[in-house]
Structure formats: structure tokens, C-alpha cells
């Protein structure tokens, strides 16, 4: 079954947990990131992004600053603004965005090209290093921003500029002998062109996306040919380099032949998202099957319990199956956001609860955990174990930060978080023909278009702290249709009632599907059990041997040094711990924390580095807090996996 998303304009979030994040992004994050993009945050690394556009537009003089892909930060910020304006009109924010759009359009070349690096620093060198220089990546983010802003405001200025750019790109790339038969080193334009096609109906953009996907990995390999044309010189090192690692950019094989997630994690999931888009639009079962294989490769063998992916800081990449170290982990925020994009598109392709389970896992843990509760500090890397001393002094762990940073020289993650949370409404429901699917339990109001007419839904949810969910159904008139509720993988059992009467249910691919004649005001109550669970890893995950993690509902929990004596590695849970739940007023949002009795290796007075085993321990109280809240108190150790 093929499904359709429900328009973001048709969903309003009203949720005790998530509305605070929406307001944080709208009231703090978007304004703060605007200041950062303008280099006005004291103590933060400069962005140069807005300044670059002003120079390219002829409004200032100066040199290009930042990384070669710095333009993309502005585009993602504009995309977040578009999503925010969809649900919360703000004339002042819209005026500010219009000013930025005016600058971007002034920086656009006559032929449609937009890129401040190649306008300011290397004019005449366009498309000479697609492997490294992210031109199409930046173009893709601009297209996504243009679509989001047009859908929110109806204003076409940025959309028309993006279409002019896409039209120009179509004259440069393609299978024809007189065109460049290549693709970008960092995938992004592929999924952006699909969005541009949906917004405009122009088949050219869909064909171009299909070309970039189909061309990738074909022999002779484009990146090797390009490298040879450049005399083996790369961008990051202006000296001869070795042959490009084709797996790093997922260009080692045609995409339909790939069956393992390899290389840079963000690039991979952005590409897989576009593949799923095209599989859906084209009815391409071969492409859909490749998506399923790659999904399994990630989620069954290469994903952290927090929804993080990309285990090594060498290339921000996947390494190999079951290699999931906790202390040297990378798990870039952007990679989890890309995994959410991929999961959402797989849900559109086929409604299976496993996709929504992963989407929820990444959202509630890795993504919101990457941002501080004040909205002004961020993790780029999302570890599952932190020893601050090692982060300071061990070169192999310096990428692991014990505290969030105000900004980054490469600041792709903060605006990515902003655009995801601002568009959260699109991930809650989908609809197809006569069925509405509820994937996430987030308090909201939505209008779902069904073949029988529009249906209004009102959801009340007490997640993530409690498992009570209530939906009120308001069709235009009495109608027969179905509502399918996801049974989360973390839920042992669930009780279902319709209009106060308990009903039995059967599961279809993890969804409880209720088909009946619905009347306006009918209610569904979905009570999900939320007992704390001790989770074990596959035995091949050597980093977690003899350890367990605590999960309750969608939340993974962790220990922090603020609640325990260091080292946390000395703490152990009993074989069958008795968990106690309580609200903690000392933490932001008064979350549910989980406590248990445990043991800690006794701190010996013996100063020897190694000594005969004494098997001594002392009882301790173990307190686990939601992972997304770690790092909001005094800096110290943190761990997710606990000896058990």
C-alpha cells in the first residue's frame, strides 16, 4: 500500500512535551541561529554565512569565509523559518526572511547559478570538483528552503530562483554526450528535486533526480575520472591524493545493487531517502527492495540504541557490522535526522511499525538530546559514554565533548535540528484511501484527506512520561473508514477502547487497524504499557558485553556523575533490579527518573595499578535520567550502558 503524508499546514501540535520544543525553536533557536549566521554570538565560532551572500550579491566587499558548503546553513535556517511560519505566522520573522531571500536572489548569476564560494573565491571553477565541493548539496538545501517557504507564505521569489537554478543544472548534467555525466559527493539534491517537482509539477526535476540516483556508481566511475582530470589534486589538501574511496560517497556500486550501509552516514541516509521517494513515485520495486536491504543493514547491525548512526569519527562514517563503541562514537546529529527522513519515506512506501519505531527512537533520544534545554548549545557528536578527562587529553576522543557548544565552524547540525522540530507535524500521521495511520503519539490536531472525505483528528498524549493516548475522530459525516494505531516495539501490551468500550484488535505490520462506521465525536483510547526495560545488545556488540541499558517507553536512560560517584564504570545493576519511578523537580521539565539499588566496586586504599581481585563492592543508589537531558548540569561522566 502506498501512503501520502498529511500536509504540514493541516497539522497543529498541542502537546505538553513537544509544544515546548516548538516554542523553544520558534522563540529562541531561530533567532539565536540568525545571530550566529551573522557572527554576533560572543564566544562562538564565526559562521560567515550571511556575510558571504552579501559579498556575492555586491552589497559588501571582502573574502569568502568558512567552509566550501557554508551556504547550506542559511538555506536550512530559511527552511526552518518556512516550517515555523506554516503553523505560527510571524510578520517580523517573515520580513527578516524576505530580506535574506532578496540577498540570495541578488547573488544569483544570470544563468541561475547560486554558490557564494565559487562566486567569490574560485569564479570559473564550477563543477570541477564535485567529489569535495558540495555544489549540488548546497543547491539541494536551497531548493528545500524554497519549497518550505513557498508552501508557508505563498511567496514565489525564492522558489522561482530555485527553479532557475534547477533549470540551469539540468543543462549541465545528464546522460547526453554534451553534458557532465556526474553527481555530487554529498547527496542532497536528489531528495530536494523530488520536493521541487511536487511543489511545481515540473517533470524535469523528477527526471533529474532520477538521473542522479541512477547514474551513481556506474562504470566508469565518475569520481575517479574527475580526480584524474584534476591531476590527482583534491580540495581539502592541495597536493596529490590517493584514488577516491568510492564507498565513502556510496558510489562504489549502482544503488540498486547496494545491500550494506557504508561510508559517510549523512550522505548515505540522504541518498536512501531519495531512493525511497523515487521508489514510491515510480512504483519501482527494485529500488524499494534496495531500500529495504539498506534499512536492515543500518537498523539491525549499525545503529545505536539512541538512534545514532555512524560509529567512527574517521569520515563520520559507518565502519562495519556490530562495531558500536560507546566512548569513541560519532553518531552525528545530522545522521539521525537523515535516518528520520529515511524512516518517514519508508512509512510512505509501506506502513510497518519498525520504521516508525526507529523514527521515534532517533527523535526522542539522539536528536533532541543534541540541543541544550536553553536552545543555544549543541552537540555535533552524540556519545553514549563520556569521560571528560579523556575528551580533553586523548586525541582519539577529542571529538567527544562533555558539554554542548554554542556553534561550530561546520554548523550543519543546529539548523538541521531547527528544521526538523519545526516540521514535526508531518511525521505524526499519514493517510491513504480509507485508512489513517497514527505513527507517533504527540498531542495534535490534524485533517486527513481520505477517499470518503476529510477527517479531523484530535490527539491527546501523555508520552513520553505515561502511555495514555486518546484520539477524537471527527469526520464530516458518518463514514466507514479505518484508523491504524502503531503498537510501539517498546510496549509489552496495550488496551484499546472505542467510545469507552474495550475492543479486541489484530495487528497488521505492527498497527492495530480499526475499521468501522465513525461518527463525529467518536473516541479511541489507547493505553500503552510503559514498564522500564533492561535492554541487552547483540553478543557481537563487544562494547556492551555484560552490560544493559535502561529504556522506558521511547526514552533511553543514562547515568550522570552529578548523581553518582565517579567512575560510573564501577557501578553495576543487580540481575533483576527493582525499578522505582519518580518525577524529579531538579531537572528541566520535571522528567520521570528511574531509580534502583545497585553496587559499586569499593574504592580501594591500595595505590597499586594492578592488584589481586578482591571482589569487594558497596551498595549504591542508581539514578537514571532520560538521555536527552544529559549534559544540562555540572559537566561530568555519563554512560548509557551499565554493568549488569
C-alpha cell at position 484: 491504524
165 vs 179: CA distance, rounded Å: 16
C-alpha cell at position 510: 505492527
Residue 21's pLDDT is what?
Answer: 96
| Cβ-contact 446, 108 below 8 angstroms | no
> Tens digit of pLDDT for each residue in 480-502?
999 999 999 999 899 999 999 99
Average pLDDT estimate for 267-271? 98
Under the banding of pLDDT at 50, 70 and 90, the label for residue 237 is confident
Residue 5's pLDDT is what?
Answer: 75
> Tens digit of pLDDT for each residue in 71-81?
999 999 999 99
The beta-strand segments (E) located in 375-427 are 385-386
- For the range 453-460, what are the long-range contacts, defined as Cβ-Cβ under 8 Å and sequence gap of 24 or more? 453/477, 453/479, 455/479, 455/481, 455/518, 457/429, 459/428
135 vs 185: CA distance, rounded Å: 9
483 vs 281: CA distance, rounded Å: 24
CA angle 352, 248, 380 (to 5 degrees): 75
CA angle 439, 445, 447 (to 5 degrees): 85
Residue 603's pLDDT is what?
Answer: 67
Q: What percent of the chain has pLDDT over 90?
A: 90
Average pLDDT estimate for 592-613? 86
Asked which of 129-133, 262-266, 451-455 is least confident by mean pLDDT, the reply is 451-455
> Tens digit of pLDDT for each residue in 173-219?
999 999 999 999 999 999 999 999 999 999 999 999 999 999 999 99
| Cβ-contact 363, 13 below 8 angstroms | no
Compute φ and ψ for 14, nearest 5 degrees: -140, 85
List the 444-450 sheet strands across, edge first: 11-13, 444-450, 453-461, 468-475, 522-528, 494-498, 501-502
> Tens digit of pLDDT for each residue in 317-344?
999 999 999 999 999 999 999 999 999 9
Active site residue ranges = 316, 412
Residue 151 exposure: Cα atoms within 13 Å on the Cβ side: 25
Q: Which CATH architecture has domain 429-528?
A: Sandwich (2.60)
Under the banding of pLDDT at 50, 70 and 90, the label for residue 1 is very low
Average pLDDT estimate for 91-102? 98
Q: What percent of the chain has pLDDT over 70?
A: 99
Residue 590's pLDDT is what?
Answer: 95
175 vs 56: CA distance, rounded Å: 31
Contacts of 344 (CB under 8 A, 6+ apart): 5, 355, 359, 426, 427
Average confidence score pLDDT of the chain: 95
| Cβ-contact 438, 359 below 8 angstroms | no
156 vs 176: CA distance, rounded Å: 31
Residue 604's pLDDT is what?
Answer: 64
Q: Residue ranges per domain, the chain?
A: 13-43+286-421, 429-528, 533-643
Q: How many residues comprise the chain?
A: 644
> Tens digit of pLDDT for each residue in 376-420?
999 889 999 999 999 999 999 999 999 998 877 777 788 889 999
Residue 3's pLDDT is what?
Answer: 59
Residue 192's pLDDT is what?
Answer: 98
Amino acid at each position: 500500500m502506498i501512503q501520502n503524508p498529511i500536509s504540514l499546514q493541516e497539522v497543529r501540535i498541542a502537546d505538553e512535551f513537544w509544544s515546548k520544543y516548538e516554542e523553544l525553536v520558534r522563540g529562541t533557536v531561530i533567532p539565536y541561529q540568525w545571530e550566529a549566521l551573522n557572527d554576533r554570538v560572543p564566544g562562538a565560532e564565526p559562521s560567515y554565512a550571511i556575510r558571504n551572500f552579501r559579498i556575492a550579491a555586491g552589497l559588501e566587499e571582502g573574502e569568502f569565509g568558512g567552509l566550501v558548503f557554508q551556504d547550506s546553513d542559511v538555506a536550512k535556517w530559511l527552511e526552518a523559518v518556512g516550517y515555523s511560519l506554516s503553523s505560527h505566522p510571524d510578520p517580523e520573522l517573515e520580513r527578516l526572511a524576505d530580506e535574506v531571500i532578496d540577498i540570495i536572489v541578488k547573488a544569483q548569476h544570470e544563468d541561475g547559478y547560486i554558490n557564494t564560494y565559487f562566486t567569490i573565491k574560485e569564479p570559473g571553477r564550477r563543477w570541477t570538483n564535485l567529489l569535495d565541493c558540495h555544489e549540488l548539496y548546497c543547491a539541494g538545501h536551497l531548493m528545500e528552503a524554497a519549497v518550505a517557504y513557498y508552501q508557508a507564505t505563498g511567496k514565489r521569489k525564492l522558489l522561482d530562483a530555485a527553479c532557475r537554478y534547477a533549470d540551469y543544472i539540468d543543462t549541465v548534467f545528464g546522460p547526453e554526450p554534451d553534458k557532465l555525466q556526474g553527481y555530487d559527493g554529498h547527496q542532497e539534491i536528489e531528495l530536494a528535486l523530488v520536493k521541487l517537482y511536487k511543489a511545481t509539477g515540473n517533470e524535469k526535476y523528477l527526471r533529474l533526480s532520477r538521473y542522479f540516483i541512477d547514474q551513481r556508481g556506474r562504470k566508469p566511475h565518475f569520481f575517479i575520472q574527475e580526480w584524474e582530470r584534476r591531476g590527482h589534486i583534491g580540495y581539502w589538501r592541495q597536493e596529490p591524493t590517493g584514488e577516491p574511496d568510492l564507498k565513502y560517497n556510496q558510489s562504489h556500486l549502482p544503488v540498486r545493487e547496494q545491500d550494506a550501509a557504508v561510508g559517510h552516514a549523512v550522505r548515505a541516509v540522504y541518498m536512501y531517502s531519495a531512493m525511497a521517494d523515487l521508489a514510491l513515485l515510480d512504483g519501482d520495486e527494485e529500488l524499494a527492495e534496495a531500500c529495504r536491504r539498506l534499512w536492515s543493514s543500518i537498523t539491525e547491525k549499525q545503529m545505536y540504541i539512541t538512534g545514532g548512526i555512524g560509529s567512527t569519527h574517521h569520515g563520520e562514517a559507518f565502519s562495519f557490522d556490530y562495531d558500536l563503541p560507546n566512548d569513541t562514537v560519532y553518531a552525528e546529529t545530522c545522521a539521525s535526522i537523515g535516518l528520520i527522513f529515511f524512516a518517514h519515506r519508508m512509512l510512505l512506501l509501506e506502513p510497518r511499525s519498525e520504521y516508525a519505531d526507529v523514527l521515534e527512537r532517533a527523535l526522542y533520544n539522539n536528536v533532541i538530546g543534541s540541543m541544550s534545554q536553553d536552545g543555544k548549545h549543541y552537540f555535533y557528536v552524540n556519545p553514549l559514554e563520556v569521560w571528560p578527562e579523556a575528551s580533553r587529553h586523548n586525541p582519539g576522543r577529542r571529538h567527544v565533548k562533555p558539554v554542548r557548544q554554542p556553534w561550530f565552524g561546520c554548523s550543519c547540525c543546529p539548523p538541521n535540528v531547527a528544521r526538523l522540530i519545526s516540521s514535526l507535524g508531518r511525521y505524526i500521521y499519514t493517510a491513504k484511501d480509507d485508512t489513517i495511520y497514527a505513527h507517533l503519539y504527540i498531542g495534535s490536531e490534524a485533517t486527513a484527506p481520505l477517499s470518503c472525505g476529510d477527517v479531523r483528528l484530535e490527539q491527546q498524549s501523555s508520552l513520553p512520561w505515561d502511555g495514555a493516548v486518546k484520539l477524537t475522530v471527527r469526520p464530516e459525516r458518518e463514514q466507514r473508514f479505518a484508523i491504524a494505531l502503531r503498537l510501539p516495539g517498546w510496549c509489552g501490551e496495550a488496551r484499546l477502547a472505542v467510545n469507552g468500550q474495550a475492543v479486541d484488535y489484530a495487528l497488521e505490520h505492527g498497527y492495530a487497524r480499526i475499521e468501522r462506521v465513525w461518527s463525529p465525536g467518536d473516541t479511541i483510547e489507547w493505553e500503552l504499557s510503559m514498564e522500564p526495560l533492561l535492554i541487552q545488545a547483540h553478543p557481537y556488540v563487544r562494547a556492551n558485553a555484560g552490560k544493559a541499558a535502561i529504556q522506558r517507553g521511547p526514552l533511553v536512560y543514562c547515568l550522570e556523575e552529578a548523581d553518582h560517584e565517579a567512575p560510573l564504570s564501577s557501578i553495576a545493576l543487580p540481575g533483576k533490579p527493582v525499578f522505582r519511578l519518580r518525577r524529579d523537580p531538579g531537572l528541566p521539565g520535571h522528567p520521570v527518573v528511574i531509580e534502583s539499588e545497585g553496587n559499586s566496586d569499593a574504592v580501594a586504599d591500595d595505590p597499586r595499578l594492578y592488584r589481586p581481585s578482591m571482589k569487594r563492592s558497596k551498595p549504591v543508589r542508581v539514578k537514571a535520567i532520560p538521555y536527552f537531558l544529559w549534559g544540562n548540569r555540572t559537566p561530568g561522566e555519563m554512560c548509557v550502558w551499565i554493568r549488569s
